[in-house]
Amino acid sequence: MDLSAIEKDIERVIISEEKLQTRLKEIARQIEADYEGQDLLLIGVLKGAVMVMADLSRHINRHVEIDWMAVSSYGSGTNSSGVVRILKDLDRDITGRNVLIVEDIVDTGLTLDWLRTNLESRGAKSVEIMTVLRKPDSAIVRVDVRYVGFDIPKDFVIGYGLDFNEKYRNLPFIAVLAKHMYE
Which residues are near ligand IMP by CB under 6 A? 48, 73, 80, 104-111, 156-157, 162
Q: Which listed residue (48, 109, 149, 159) binds Mg ion by CB under 5 A? A: 48
Query: Cβ of residue 136: shortest distance to Mg ion, in angstroms?
Result: 17
State how far the Cα of 74 lies from the Cα of 115, in Å rounded to an integer.
14
Coil, strand or helix at 77: coil
Q: By C-beta, is 48 or 159 nearer to Mg ion?
A: 48
Q: Report the alpha-carbon distance of residue 113 to residue 96 in Å, rounded.
A: 20
Name which of 104 and 128 has its Cβ closer to ligand IMP.
104
* 107 part of the active site: yes
115 interacts with, out of Mg ion, ligand IMP, none, CB within 5 to 8 A per kind:
none
C-alpha atoms less than 13 angstroms from C-alpha of 154 in its C-beta half-sphere: 6
- Taking the complex as a whole, how short is the minimal distance between the CB of residue 170 and Mg ion, in angstroms? 16
Task: Enumerate long-range contacts of 90-94, CB under 8 Å, 24 or more apart.
Answer: 90/43, 91/67, 92/67, 93/122, 94/41, 94/43, 94/119, 94/122, 94/123, 94/124
Of 99 and 102, nearer to ligand IMP (C-beta) is: 102
Q: Is 161 in the site for Mg ion (CB under 5 A)?
A: no
Catalytic residue among 107, 137, 144, 163: 107
How far is Cα 151 from Cα 137, in angstroms, rounded to an integer?
10
Quick one: 52 or 105, whose CB is closer to ligand IMP? 105
Contact 52, 102 (CB under 8 A): yes
109 binds Mg ion (CB under 5 A): no
Chain positions contacting Mg ion, by CB under 5 A: 48, 104
